[in-house]
Amino acid sequence: MILGLDISTSIVGATVLDNDGKVLYCEAWDLRNKNHFPTLHSKAERVKQMLARLYDVKRLKFKSIFIEQSLMAFRPGLSSAKTLLTLAKFNGIVSYICKRDFEIEPEYIGAATARKSCGIKVERGKKAKQIVLNFLLDNEESFEVEYTKYGNPKPKYYDMADSLIIARAGWKKLNS
């Protein structure tokens, strides 16, 4: 089984695929509540608990773990040095948890590389997250989205979609 993770400090997307590439689990873990998760360490502890639940309670035994690679450069209007550093630290903490708790060295896949391996093309100026979501709605029968009262996808579905694309890219890499 393959675990694909889209790690951020607000919502973590997690997908588990079986050896045939079938989706067994695709969910998002919301870490935005500052009262419950005031620090990076409390957020990491929550991710650790959710991973343990998948592994121990749901009996999903991972053979490979793929994680979306952290942003490596500034993007005007989107990421400050502080944000990039925080995301990289959190990605490192969760990667360490995966290595320590499951004895699996995570592999990292860039978002653009993962999309390309799944046949998703994002034209310049278009929003990649929306294109990925639309691709999965069109091509993945198990993927469904809930919408806000204004007709927008609820935020967690973007993270779920990204984790599914990372898992699919990992599966393709292992099976090529």
Amino acid occupying residue 49: Q
- For the entire predicted model, the pTM comes to 0.91
The full set of domain ranges for the chain reads 2-174
What average pLDDT does the segment 162-170 reach? Answer: 97
Is the alpha carbon torsion for 34, 164, 121, 141 positive or negative?
negative
Q: Say if residue 71's pLDDT is above 80.
A: no
pLDDT in tens, 22-34: 999 999 999 999 9
Q: Is a pLDDT exceeding 80 seen at residue 66?
A: yes
Task: Give the model's pLDDT for residue 83.
Answer: 79
| pLDDT for 60 | 79
What is the rounded distance in angstroms from the CA atom of residue 55 to the CA atom of residue 125? Answer: 39
Residue 18 CA to residue 58 CA, distance in Å, equals 13
Superfamily of domain 2-174: Ribonuclease H-like superfamily/Ribonuclease H (3.30.420.10)
| Cα 112 to Cα 169: distance, rounded to the nearest angstrom | 11
Nearest 5 degrees, angle CA 64-CA 68-CA 74? Answer: 160
DSSP string, 86-146: HHHHHHHHHHHHHHHHH----EEE-HHHHHHHTT----TTS-HHHHHHHHHHHH-TT----
Residue 80 has pLDDT above 80, yes or no: no
Position 64, amino acid = S
